[in-house]
């Protein structure tokens, strides 16, 4: 009688623990998927920003010096290795501010047939970098907390997934765009 | 001849290109030419009568460091106006491949244009991506001058075509004589450095590391540093007990620069590369300072393979410290290097160089009507 109860109690505890662990593991898995999605979105938004910058640089709307500064920064950002990427993307943000915050930049661009469209695209691309980076870092934060938990560490619930890194860059948009 | 010269970098900030343009302009004026220089400048910067400001330059990341450049519609407009009103026979742009005033001038002008290329780099990603963008502006340049073999090689590799070699000049007489700065040498222990402190390619960190080695063994060794940059950052690289043996002059006037060259026992140029010529080196040579320079090709050439100045393995603080110690211990060798330097620098004097440059002007202005505004830009 007591043995049966004991076995039952142990059995219930084992089942509950298993359910709990699998629930934690499932959560961690969902977090990893969310992180990967956020990373892909961040990657896409950075590439899009670089692409719009290169298009603007090659559009012949700007003077050749501005084009060159912008193209060089966009190229650096697009081709930077993993270690240099944060640095190169920050440089592109700074370059963009220097370029776009020129006096009467918006008006000069508006004079060209393709100018307003490009500016609109640039505007969107810059904003999306800010958003996607915020979402990504958010996902990193949550995932890191989950991975750091005692249970996750002891049972290696995260498997061989790497500890995710925050993506820290200067992504402040040009004043002209931010004011919109 | 009416000559318009364009300088891409901020006029009042010391730098190789700025010094080149100023000295060339003054040598040409002394030869009886009319010269107008356009350069970016701060609002209240004191300008020589022959300089026209193109407005302020903007700090922007470019080619691996932060450069102050003048670009944009506003700058282009100013260059255009200057060209229209200047009615020059020849336009001489400096560093036209740098996204600043030189490139803008090529864009807005038409006629005889001479371009001088200063910089050299191993490989520039910015340049290779930009080459097609530069093409239409650079194709307007009728004569190309490189200030060094390295600059010429860079030009050929990145942009194609060739250039004539006319090295930088130095106004030897400006540096030949000067009173040493009070409280400094030469007293057998002063090592000097001149250049931007925060520009890694100038190699100051290498010298600081070497100074730390030297200072441990030699209580009388001191370091004199002249040039713009963050003083706290420089001192932060040294242990605190050495701080009172370092003199930071900051940005110096021309006069104090000459005096600084005369205040040292060893003048050190620890550049890591990128220097196309080493104007600082020829100034120090004019002053007769015993020189210790990194073994980069441009320095090796100017110093006659080590005849007019000692060389050390580039970027190696231990090698620098060892070589500096040898020089400090050998006054005879220092005196000999000083004499050799004064001798070797003569062929770089501006009077010689300006004559060569004006020959280039004469070649390109034959049968032309002068520089006009390009309506296509």
pLDDT top residue among B54 and B161: B54
Write the CA distances from A92 to A21, A71, B60, B134, B220, integer angstroms.
Answer: 44, 9, 9, 20, 47
Q: How much of chain B, in percent, has pLDDT values that exceed 90?
A: 45
Cα–chain center distance at A109: 29
Read off the pLDDT of residues B20-31 as tens digits, 9 standing for 90 and up. Answer: 899 899 999 998
Range of the domain at A94: 34-178
Q: How much of chain B, in percent, has pLDDT values that exceed 70?
A: 95
Chain B residues lying within 8 Å of A64, measured CB to CB: 99, 103-104, 106-107, 133-134, 136-137
B21 and B65, same domain (yes or no): yes
Report the pLDDT value the prediction gives residue A163, as an integer from 0 to 100.
79
The two three-digit tokens of residue B108, written as one number:
């807005």
What distance in Å separates the CA atoms of residue B118 and residue B276, rounded to the nearest whole number? 6
Q: Does residue A180 carry a pLDDT above 60?
A: no
Beta carbons within 8 Å of A36's beta carbon, 6+ residues apart: none
The three-state secondary structure class of B121 is coil
Beta carbons within 8 Å of A92's beta carbon, 6+ residues apart: A49, A50, A53, A73, A74, A76, A77
pLDDT top residue among A156 and B282: B282
B212 and B326, same domain (yes or no): yes
Report the pLDDT value the prediction gives residue A45, as an integer from 0 to 100.
94
Chain B residues lying within 8 Å of A57, measured CB to CB: 133
Q: Does residue B377 carry a pLDDT above 70?
A: no
B327 and B247, same domain (yes or no): yes
Chain B residues lying within 8 Å of A75, measured CB to CB: 125-126, 129
Report the pLDDT value the prediction gives residue B127, as an integer from 0 to 100.
64
Kindly state whether residue A7 falls inside one of the protein's structural domains: no
Minimal Cα distance from A57: which residue of B?
B133
Minimal Cα distance from B135: which residue of A?
A64
Pairwise CB contact (< 8 Å): B72 & A105: yes
Nearest CA of chain B to the CA of A17: how many Å? 55
What distance in Å separates the CA atoms of residue A68 and residue B127, rounded to the nearest whole number? 9
Residues paired with residue B269 on neighbouring β-strands, in sequence order: B293
Kindly state whether residue A88 falls inside one of the protein's structural domains: yes
- What is Dmax (Cα atoms) for chain B? 67
Read off the pLDDT of residues B322-370 as tens digits, 9 standing for 90 and up. Answer: 999 999 999 999 999 999 999 999 888 888 889 899 999 999 988 778 8
Report the pLDDT value the prediction gives residue A151, as an integer from 0 to 100.
75
- Number of structural domains, chain A? 1
Report the pLDDT value the prediction gives residue A177, as an integer from 0 to 100.
62
Report the pLDDT value the prediction gives residue A1, as an integer from 0 to 100.
64
The two three-digit tokens of residue B6, written as one number:
């364009």
Read off the pLDDT of residues A107-132 as tens digits, 9 standing for 90 and up. Answer: 888 888 888 889 899 989 999 999 99
B141 and B182, same domain (yes or no): no
pTM of the model: 0.71
Q: What is the CATH number of the domain that holds B106?
A: 3.40.50.2000
Read off the pLDDT of residues B260-278 as tens digits, 9 standing for 90 and up. Answer: 999 999 999 999 886 656 7
Q: What is the mean pLDDT of chain B?
A: 88
The model's confidence at residue B128, banded by pLDDT at 50, 70 and 90, is low
What distance in Å separates the CA atoms of residue B267 and residue B124, rounded to the nearest whole number? 30
Kindly state whether residue A47 falls inside one of the protein's structural domains: yes
Pick from B61, B74, B106: CB nearest A95 = B61
Q: Does residue B123 carry a pLDDT above 90?
A: no
Could you check whether the bond before residue B322 is cis, i.e. omega within 30 degrees of 0? no
B79 and B101, same domain (yes or no): yes
What distance in Å separates the CA atoms of residue A95 and residue A173, rounded to the nearest whole number? 10
| Packed helices A2-57 and A115-148: angle between N→C axes, nearest 10 degrees | 160
CB-based contact, B159 to chain A, within 8 Å: no
Read off the pLDDT of residues A38-95 as tens digits, 9 standing for 90 and up. Answer: 999 999 999 999 999 999 888 888 888 898 899 989 988 888 888 889 999 999 999 9
The interface residues of chain B toward chain A in range 257-316, judged by CB-CB distance below 8 A, are: none
Q: Does residue B18 carry a pLDDT above 60?
A: yes
- Number of structural domains, chain B? 2
**Per CB distance under 8 Å, which residues of A are interface residues toward B?**
57-58, 63-69, 71-73, 75-76, 79, 91, 94-95, 98-99, 102-105, 108
B232 and B136, same domain (yes or no): no
State the best of A57, A58, A61, A72 to mutate against chain B, taking most chain B CBs within 10 Å.
Answer: A72
Pairwise CB contact (< 8 Å): A64 & B133: yes
Nearest CA of chain B to the CA of A140: how many Å? 29
Pick from A68, A76, A108: CB nearest B99 = A68
> Checking phi first, is residue B356 left (phi over 0); if not, alpha (psi -120 to 50) or beta?
alpha
What distance in Å separates the CA atoms of residue A148 and residue A152, rounded to the nearest whole number? 7
pLDDT top residue among B123 and B41: B41
Q: What is the mean pLDDT of chain A?
A: 86
Report the pLDDT value the prediction gives residue B339, as an integer from 0 to 100.
93
Report the pLDDT value the prediction gives residue B274, as an integer from 0 to 100.
66
Q: Does residue A155 carry a pLDDT above 80?
A: no
What distance in Å separates the CA atoms of residue A135 and residue A129, rounded to the nearest whole number? 10
B150 and B49, same domain (yes or no): yes
B157 and B35, same domain (yes or no): yes
Pairwise CB contact (< 8 Å): A102 & B103: no
Read off the pLDDT of residues B174-191 as tens digits, 9 standing for 90 and up. Answer: 898 888 888 887 888 899
pLDDT top residue among B341 and A154: B341
The C-alpha R_g of chain A, in whole angstroms, comes to 24
Pairwise CB contact (< 8 Å): A63 & B60: no
The interface residues of chain B toward chain A in range 84-113, judged by CB-CB distance below 8 A, are: 99-101, 103-104, 106-107
State the best of A58, A62, A63, A89 to mutate against chain B, taking most chain B CBs within 10 Å.
Answer: A63
Kindly state whether residue A141 falls inside one of the protein's structural domains: yes
Report the pLDDT value the prediction gives residue B259, as an integer from 0 to 100.
93
B11 and B122, same domain (yes or no): yes
Kindly state whether residue A169 falls inside one of the protein's structural domains: yes
What distance in Å separates the CA atoms of residue B103 and residue B125, rounded to the nearest whole number? 18
B205 and B308, same domain (yes or no): yes
Write the CA distances from B190 to B184, B214, B325, integer angstroms.
Answer: 7, 11, 11
Pick from A71, A103, A104: CB nearest B133 = A71
Range of the domain at B330: 173-346
The model's confidence at residue B302, banded by pLDDT at 50, 70 and 90, is confident
Nearest CA of chain B to the CA of A169: how many Å? 15
- Residue B361, number of CB atoms within 10 A of its CB: 20
ipTM score for this prediction: 0.77
Lowest-confidence segment of A164-178, B3-17, B124-138, B202-216 by average pLDDT: B124-138
> Checking phi first, is residue B367 left (phi over 0); if not, alpha (psi -120 to 50) or beta?
left
> Is there a contact between B241 and B219 (Cβ–Cβ < 8 Å)?
no
Pairwise CB contact (< 8 Å): B133 & A79: no
Minimal Cα distance from A74: which residue of B?
B126
Cα–chain center distance at B245: 28
């Amino acid at each position: 009688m007591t043995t049966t109860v004991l076995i039952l109690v142990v059995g219930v505890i084992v089942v509950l623990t298993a359910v709990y662990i699998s629930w934690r593991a499932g959560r961690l898995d969902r977090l990893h998927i969310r992180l990967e999605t956020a990373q892909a979105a961040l990657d896409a938004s950075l590439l899009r920003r670089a692409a719009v910058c290169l298009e603007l640089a090659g559009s012949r709307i700007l003077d050749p010096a501005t084009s060159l500064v912008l193209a060089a920064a966009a190229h650096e950002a697009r081709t930077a290795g993993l270690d240099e990427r944060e640095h190169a993307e920050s440089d592109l943000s700074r370059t963009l501010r220097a370029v776009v915050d020129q006096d009467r930049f918006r008006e000069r661009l508006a004079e060209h047939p393709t100018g307003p469209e490009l500016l609109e695209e640039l505007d969107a691309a810059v904003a999306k970098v800010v958003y996607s980076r915020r979402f990504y870092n958010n996902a990193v934060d949550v995932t890191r907390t989950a991975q750091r938990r005692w249970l996750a560490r002891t049972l290696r619930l995260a498997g061989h997934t790497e500890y995710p890194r925050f993506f820290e860059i200067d992504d402040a948009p040009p004043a002209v765009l931010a004011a919109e | 001849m009416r000559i318009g010269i364009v300088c891409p970098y901020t006029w009042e900030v010391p730098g190789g290109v700025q010094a080149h343009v100023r000295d060339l302009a003054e040598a040409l004026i002394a030869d009886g030419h009319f010269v107008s220089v356009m350069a970016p400048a701060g609002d209240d910067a004191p300008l020589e009568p022959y300089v026209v400001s193109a407005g302020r330059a903007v700090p922007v990341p470019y080619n691996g460091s932060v450069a102050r450049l003048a670009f944009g519609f506003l700058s282009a407009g100013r260059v255009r106006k200057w060209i229209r009103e200047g009615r020059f026979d020849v336009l001489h742009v400096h560093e036209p491949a740098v996204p600043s005033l030189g490139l803008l001038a090529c864009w807005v002008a038409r006629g005889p244009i001479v371009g001088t290329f200063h910089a050299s780099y191993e490989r520039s990603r910015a340049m290779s991506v930009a080459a097609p963008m530069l093409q239409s502006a650079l194709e307007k340049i009728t004569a190309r001058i490189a200030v060094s073999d390295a600059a010429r090689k860079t030009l050929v590799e990145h942009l194609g075509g060739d250039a004539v070699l006319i090295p930088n000049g130095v106004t030897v007489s400006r540096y030949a004589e000067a009173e040493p700065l009070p409280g400094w040498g030469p007293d057998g222990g002063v090592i000097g450095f001149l250049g931007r402190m925060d520009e890694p390619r100038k190699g100051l960190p290498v010298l600081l590391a070497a100074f730390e080695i030297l200072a441990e063994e030699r209580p009388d060794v001191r370091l004199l540093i002249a040039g713009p940059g963050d003083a706290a950052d420089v001192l932060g690289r040294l242990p605190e007990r050495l701080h009172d043996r370092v003199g930071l002059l900051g940005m110096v006037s021309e006069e104090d620069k000459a005096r600084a060259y005369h205040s040292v026992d060893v003048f050190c140029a620890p550049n890591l590369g990128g220097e196309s010529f080493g104007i600082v080196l020829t100034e120090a040579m004019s002053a007769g300072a015993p020189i210790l320079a990194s073994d980069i090709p441009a320095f090796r050439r100017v110093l006659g393979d080590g005849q007019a100045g000692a060389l050390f393995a580039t970027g190696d603080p231990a090698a620098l410290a060892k070589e500096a110690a040898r020089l400090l211990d050998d006054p005879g060798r220092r005196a000999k290097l000083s004499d050799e330097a004064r001798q070797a620098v003569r062929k770089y004097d501006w009077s010689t160089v300006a004559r060569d440059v004006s020959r280039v002007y004469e070649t390109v202005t034959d049968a032309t009507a002068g520089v006009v505004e390009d309506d296509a830009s």
